[in-house]
C-alpha cells in the first residue's frame, strides 16, 4: 500500500537552509554558570505586576517570556490522554486552535490549480482558506433536506484524483458521523489516487476515542482536533493534528510560524486534558438534550431535520419556505444561518443544544416557533 502512495508535498521547503532565529538549535553553556539572557526581544523588566495580580500570583507561566516553539509538555499530555491512538509525541502537531492547524495544512497541501473535494454543506472557513490559496473546491453535493452522506459518492469523488479530501467528522452543520470503517476505506482508496485525507474532528470529543480517525494508521490521513467544543475552551485557542507521515510533520514544523500557541494556553490545555469527568458529563447532557430537541423538531409540520448523530450537539433544521433564522429569532432563539454555508440559504439553520439551565425554555420556544 505504501509503495503506491504518491502524495504530493512541497519538498522544496525542506531545502531552504535558512531558519528563523526563534527556531535555532539550543546552545550549550558551561555547567554551573548563571546564564544572562540577552536573546529574544522580551521586556528586560519581566512580566508587569498588573498582569501578575490579574493571574492571581505565581501561575507557573511566565508570560513575559515567549512560549516554547514546540510545547513538548502539551504534546505529551495529548499522547497520555488518548492512549488508544498509540501515538508518539512526534506525531502530534500543535497550533492555535484546530483552525490554525487547518490553515497550515492548506498552505502545505494545496497550491493554485490544486483541487480539494469534500461534501457540501460542511465547515465553510476551511473551504474559504482553500479558495484564498488559489485552489478550487469540488464537493459532493448532499441532497436536502436530510443531507445524507454516503461512501459511494465520496469514492466517485476520489476517482477524480483530488489533491485533498476534506471531511469534517462529525459534519458541521448536520452533526452526522461517517463511520470509522468508512473513513478507513476512503483513506485506503485515497492512497491509490495520491490524495490526502483530512478528518476535521472539531466536534470529535463528543464521541469516544475509539471512533476517532486518529485510530487509523495511514500516511495520507491527518486528524485535526480542538479544545473549543467538547473540552469547553474555545477562548484558549489550542488545537492539534495527528500526522503519521514524517515528511508532512517536518514540513508542518517548518512552515508554521513560531510561538503560535501561548504559554498560558498550553498550561490551561494540559489541565483540561486531565479532567475526564467534565467530558463524561458533557457527553451525557448533550445526548439527552439532543434527543429531546430532535423530538420537538420532528413533530413540527413543515420542518425537516438532517441526518445526525444524537451524541453531537449540532444539527441542521430546514423549513419548506421562508426565513427560519428570523422565525426562531422571533421566539428568542439564536442560531447559525444556513446562508453561512455554501449552497444554502436562510430556510435552514444550524442549531446547537442550549445550556442545561435554558433547556426547558428552549424546548418550549422551539415548539411555539
Residue 66 has pLDDT above 90, yes or no: no
The Cα 168–Cα 176 span in angstroms is 10
SS3 242: strand
The Cα 349–Cα 341 span in angstroms is 10
What does pTM read for this prediction? 0.88
pLDDT digits (tens, 9 = 90+) for 286-329: 999 999 999 999 888 899 999 999 999 999 999 999 999 999 99
Closest C-alpha among 78, 128, 87, 86 to residue 240: 78
Q: Which three cell numbers stand for residue 228?
A: 473549543
Cα atoms in the Cβ-side hemisphere of radius 13 Å centred on 222: 30
167 in Cβ contact with 118 (< 8 Å): yes
The Cα 365–Cα 321 span in angstroms is 20
Distances (CA, A) of 70 to 89, 238, 308: 10, 13, 37
Cα atoms in the Cβ-side hemisphere of radius 13 Å centred on 339: 8
108 in Cβ contact with 248 (< 8 Å): yes
Q: If you average pLDDT over every residue of the chain, what do you get?
A: 88
pLDDT digits (tens, 9 = 90+) for 235-264: 888 999 999 999 999 999 888 888 888 888
Amino acid at each position: 500500500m505504501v509503495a503506491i502512495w504518491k502524495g504530493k508535498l512541497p519538498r522544496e521547503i525542506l531545502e531552504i537552509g535558512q531558519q528563523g532565529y526563534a527556531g535555532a538549535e539550543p546552545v550549550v553553556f558551561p555547567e554551573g554558570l548563571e546564564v544572562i539572557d540577552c536573546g529574544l526581544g522580551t521586556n528586560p523588566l519581566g512580566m508587569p505586576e498588573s498582569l501578575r495580580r490579574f493571574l492571581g500570583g505565581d501561575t507557573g507561566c511566565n508570560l513575559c517570556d515567549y512560549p516554547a516553539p514546540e510545547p513538548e509538555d502539551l504534546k505529551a499530555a495529548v499522547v497520555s490522554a488518548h492512549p488508544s491512538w498509540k501515538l508518539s509525541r512526534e506525531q502530534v502537531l500543535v497550533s492555535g486552535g484546530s483552525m490554525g492547524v487547518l490553515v497550515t495544512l492548506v498552505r502545505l497541501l494545496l497550491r493554485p490549480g490544486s483541487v480539494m473535494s469534500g461534501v457540501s454543506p460542511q465547515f465553510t472557513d476551511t473551504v474559504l482558506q482553500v479558495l484564498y490559496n488559489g485552489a478550487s473546491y469540488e464537493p459532493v453535493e448532499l441532497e436536502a433536506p436530510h443531507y445524507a452522506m454516503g461512501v459511494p459518492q465520496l469514492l466517485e469523488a476520489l476517482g477524480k484524483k483530488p489533491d485533498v479530501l476534506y471531511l469534517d467528522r462529525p459534519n458541521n452543520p448536520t452533526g452526522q458521523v461517517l463511520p470509522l470503517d468508512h473513513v478507513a476505506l476512503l483513506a485506503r482508496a485515497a492512497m491509490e489516487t495520491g490524495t490526502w485525507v483530512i478528518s476535521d474532528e472539531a466536534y470529535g470529543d463528543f464521541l469516544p476515542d475509539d471512533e476517532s480517525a486518529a485510530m487509523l494508521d495511514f500516511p495520507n490521513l491527518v486528524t485535526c482536533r480542538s479544545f473549543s467544543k467538547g473540552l469547553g475552551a474555545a477562548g484558549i485557542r489550542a488545537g492539534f493534528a495527528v500526522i503519521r507521515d514524517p515528511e508532512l510533520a517536518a514540513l508542518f514544523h517548518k512552515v508554521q510560524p513560531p510561538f503560535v500557541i501561548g504559554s498560558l494556553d498550553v498550561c490551561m490545555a494540559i489541565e483540561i486534558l486531565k479532567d475526564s469527568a467534565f467530558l463524561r458529563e458533557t457527553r451525557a447532557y448533550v445526548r439527552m438534550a439532543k434527543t429531546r430537541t430532535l423530538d420537538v423538531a420532528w413533530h413540527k409540520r413543515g420542518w425537516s431535520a438532517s441526518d445526525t448523530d444524537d451524541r453531537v450537539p449540532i444539527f441542521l433544521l430546514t423549513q419548506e419556505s421562508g426565513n427560519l433564522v428570523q422565525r426562531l429569532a422571533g421566539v428568542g432563539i439564536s442560531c447559525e444561518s444556513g446562508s453561512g454555508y455554501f449552497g444554502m440559504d436562510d430556510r435552514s439553520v444550524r442549531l446547537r443544544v442550549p445550556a442545561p439551565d435554558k433547556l426547558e425554555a428552549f424546548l418550549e420556544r422551539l415548539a411555539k416557533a
